[in-house]
Homo-oligomer: A and B are copies of this chain.
């Protein structure tokens, strides 16, 4: 929680594998995908931004850092399985206590997102770089502020239905793909005391995180998801609040 302080503490996490192993990606994102997103968020005075990556100790996500994070953005693709179970569990529990969680693109298969959803989070996919048109179907939602009725990503990885997720609390964006598919590309859920947002545009193979509308959605989401509480787990045995008559027991 961040009570009395005016800044939202954002951590942008990235597995940072493609950038280290694929020349094309490192040219596209010399600062890493995390760096590109962090740079965009840093232009907004509401945010205090840090980054964390897979190869840092505890993936850069110690419990101290998580506790000092109001919203965590997550990008992963090839190395989901290398995130230790305990780190994934810390993230999960921190969300349930109040931290926001934004799962970007292939993070649909990340350990924290799958644990929060309770489903496979599977989908249909194709990476031929086709046109995606993102439809804004909830323009009054804070995450859609300033986003047009629809916008185009000329080359995007196709993610298509059926997307195996729980019915969202609210579906904000629906995507159309040139190849014939549709996708619920922006969805919100509450889990525990935390807010979760999934946003699908964003493969490493295209400069999606340079797109002004994509960055606007991510920026809006970081503000909307930010923790307002920090409520630890409890399952208390409690005294009655009203007098209980002792019935002639059947027990």
Contact = CB atoms under 8 A, between A and B. Distances in A.
A44 interface: no
A145 B229 CA distance: 9
Interface in A200-250: 205-207, 227-229, 231, 233-242, 244-245, 247, 249-250
20 contacts: A92-B118, A96-B119, A96-B164, A117-B118, A118-B118, A119-B192, A124-B238, A129-B251, A135-B162, A140-B195, A140-B229, A149-B162, A155-B247, A155-B251, A174-B184, A175-B182, A176-B177, A179-B242, A182-B182, A206-B251
A62 interface: no
B242 A180 contact: yes
A154 interface: yes
Nearest to A168: B167
A206 to B, nearest CB: 4
B176 A191 contact: no
Contacts of A175: 182
Given A122-B235, A127-B237, 11 more contacts: A96-B164, A124-B237, A131-B247, A133-B241, A142-B228, A150-B180, A154-B247, A155-B250, A167-B169, A176-B177, A181-B241
B154 A174 contact: no
Which range contains the number of A residues in contact with the other chain?
35 or more
A233 B133 contact: no
B98 A140 contact: yes
Nearest to A126: B238
Contacts of A194: 140
A139 B166 CA distance: 14
A87 interface: no
A78 interface: no
Contacts of A18: none
Interface string A114-153: 0111111011111111110101111110100100011000
